[in-house]
Each structure stands twice: as structure tokens, then as C-alpha cells.
């Protein structure tokens, strides 16, 4: 299960990186070998960085970008922490709901930053990656950017962006 309370990012577990220079916060998705696929840990780190950005008076604007050939290929279905546990169907449903609520609190913290956020999108921007880009105030797409919501074809709600 993911640590929902800790504020540390263990070395080697970085999903995002924040660099600040001359009033610009550059938030970088940094898992290029996984096409920056999103996980529960990515969500936790997004919330941590959203809080840091919000309360850092030196950051006047944010650039959201990604390393590698994809902005974000969507949810990492192989990532740990995604199993829904519980002794009964009702308990599993409750845990699923609480997990989504926890994640959405972090998404809202990022989407509601007082600083303007610009997403620079290259390559695949799929599923949750598309929703993450939609959380930005402005999106700039490279010539090779591909936007899609494949989960909609499966009847799964698009609910983060």
C-alpha cells in the first residue's frame, strides 16, 4: 500500500521533479522508460509538489513537462498499490471510494494552484496523462503529440481532469 502520509520521496522513486529558477517552477514527469505512466506514487508526489508550489512565493508560474518521448501514457497498470483490498464487497467498495477521494484531493490541489500552469505536451498524452494536461491552464502541443482517452471506449469514466 502507498504511504499516504509521508512527505519524503525515496531516492530512486521519483515520479516527478520540481526545479525552480527565476520565478518559474518546472514540474517534470521523470519516468521516461515507463513513458511517464501514472501510479498512486505519482499522485502522492503531485500532491506534495502542489503544496510546495502553492506556498513558495518565489514561484510565479509553472511549466508542466515530461522527459522522454511521451508526456504520459496513462495509468501504470503494473504499479504497486493498486489492489483493492477488503473482507467483503462493501469493504472493497469503501476502500476503492476512499482511494479515489484521496487521489482527487491531490488532483484538485494541483488544478487549483494560484500560479498559472502551462503543460508542454510531446508524444503520447493518453488517459490520465490527457486529464493531467487538462488540469493546466494552457496546453502547448508538439507536432508529435497524440491525445486520446482510451478508457472511454471501455465505459470507464474520465474523471480526473
Per-residue pLDDT tens for 124-136?
Answer: 999 999 999 999 9
Note the pLDDT of residue 1: 44
**Cβ atoms of residues 63 and 118 within 8 Å:** yes
Domain membership of residue 150 as a residue range: 16-154
Q: Please count the structural domains in the chain.
A: 1
Is residue 4, in this structure, part of any structural domain at all? Answer: no
Q: Determine, yes or no, domain membership for 105.
A: yes
Task: Determine, yes or no, domain membership for 3.
Answer: no
The verdict on residue 134 lying in a domain is yes
Examine the residue annotation and report whether 151 is marked as an active-site residue of this protein.
yes
> What are the residues facing 72 on neighbouring strands?
125
d(CA 14, CA 28): 10
Compute the distance between CA of residue 86 and CA of residue 147 in angstroms, rounded to an integer.
35
Q: Is residue 159 part of a domain?
A: no
Instruction: Name 106's Cβ contacts closer than 8 Å, sequence gap at least 6.
Output: 43, 44, 46, 47, 50
pLDDT digits (tens, 9 = 90+) for 103-127: 889 999 999 999 999 999 999 999 9
Task: Kindly give the parts of the chain with pLDDT less than 70.
Answer: 1-10, 81-83, 157-161
Given the residues 11, 14, 21, 151, the one annotated as active site:
151
- In this prediction, residue 151 carries a pLDDT of 80
CATH code of 67's domain = 3.90.226.10
pLDDT at 95: 81
Give the pLDDT confidence score for residue 92 in this predicted structure.
Answer: 83
2 domain residue, yes or no = no
Amino acid at each position: 500500500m502507498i504511504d499516504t502520509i509521508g512527505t519524503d520521496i525515496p531516492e530512486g522513486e521519483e515520479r516527478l521533479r520540481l526545479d525552480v529558477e527565476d520565478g518559474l517552477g518546472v514540474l517534470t514527469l521523470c519516468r521516461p522508460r515507463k513513458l511517464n505512466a501514472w501510479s498512486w506514487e505519482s499522485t502522492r508526489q503531485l500532491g506534495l509538489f502542489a503544496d510546495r508550489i502553492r506556498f513558495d512565493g518565489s514561484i510565479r508560474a509553472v511549466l508542466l513537462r515530461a522527459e522522454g518521448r511521451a508526456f504520459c501514457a496513462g495509468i501504470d497498470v503494473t504499479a504497486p498499490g493498486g489492489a483493492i483490498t477488503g473482507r467483503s464487497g462493501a469493504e472493497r467498495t469503501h476502500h476503492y471510494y476512499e482511494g479515489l477521494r484521496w487521489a482527487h484531493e491531490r488532483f484538485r490541489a494541483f488544478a487549483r494552484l494560484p500560479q498559472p500552469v502551462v503543460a508542454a505536451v510531446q508524444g503520447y498524452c493518453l488517459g490520465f496523462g490527457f486529464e493531467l494536461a487538462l488540469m493546466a491552464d494552457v496546453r502547448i502541443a508538439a507536432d508529435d503529440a497524440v491525445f486520446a482517452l482510451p478508457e472511454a471506449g471501455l465505459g470507464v469514466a474520465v474523471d480526473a481532469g
